[in-house]
Chain A
Amino acid sequence: DAGVIQSPRHEVTEMGQEVTLRCKPISGHDYLFWYRQTMMRGLELLIYFNNNVPIDDSGMPEDRFSAKMPNASFSTLKIQPSEPRDSAVYFCASSPPWTGGVEQYFGPGTRLTVT
């Protein structure tokens, strides 16, 4: 059974460019989370969805960040325009309904480098 799938695994872009990160959650999971991990700040929750609806986006750093979940099997995190301080590993995680979103399964992450 495939786990959470993220693409791309690595992204290098120049400051000012738009970046789109993609995530396919585990089939049957109804919660989807986007996290960012840096050495300085550790793992931070950016936004999460339940049944494709954004529930809490209070962790999104600023208006340059946006996330969508058009259907149960796909989500995107977009940064426009990107800045060097956005460099981090971005993780997507999903969670099955029988855990109420508490037990989360993480994807392999996308390592973003903004130069």
Chain B
Amino acid sequence: SQQGEEDPQALSIQEGENATMNCSYKTSINNLQWYRQNSGRGLVHLILIRSNEREKHSGRLRVTLDTSKKSSSLLITASRAADTASYFCATSTNSGSARQLTFGSGTQLTVLP
């Protein structure tokens, strides 16, 4: 099974609402990243949080990391229709190469206008 598993698999909200996506992983990590993928496009890096950090902000994005629970959450505040995309968490572990990212299966977010 994949290192990162996102929850929920799909999320549909109204424009202006907040969207929260969760990611759980199995082994110790060096860092965790969130990526966005619009339909038919490549992945876009959103934010990286290191294992010694607990929270990070970037614009309307807020990421938390709880290493004791091996979980992370991505919060998008005041969502817009343009936020509609798939969101993936990716982990970099302590074993093997730190450059090897293991991606979760993604959360499909739909923001309704």
Contacts and interface: CB of A to CB of B under 8 A. Distances in A.
Interface of A: 4, 31, 33, 42-43, 45, 48, 50, 55-56, 91, 93, 95, 100-109
Contacts of B45: 103-105
Interface in B24-51: 30-31, 33, 35, 41-45, 48
B40 to A, nearest CB: 8
B87 interface: no
Interface string B84-101: 000010001000111111
Interface string B43-81: 111001000000000000000000000000000000000
B43 A48 contact: no
Contacts of A50: 99
Contacts, number: 56
Size bracket, chain B contacts: 20 to 34
A93 B105 CA distance: 18
Given A102-B31, A103-B33, A109 B97 contact: no
Contacts of B43: 43, 91, 93, 104, 106
Contacts of B42: 4, 91, 93, 106-109
A50 B101 CA distance: 15
Contacts of B106: 42
Nearest to A9: B40
Given A56-B96, A103-B33, 7 more contacts: A42-B103, A42-B104, A42-B106, A55-B97, A102-B30, A102-B31, A102-B33
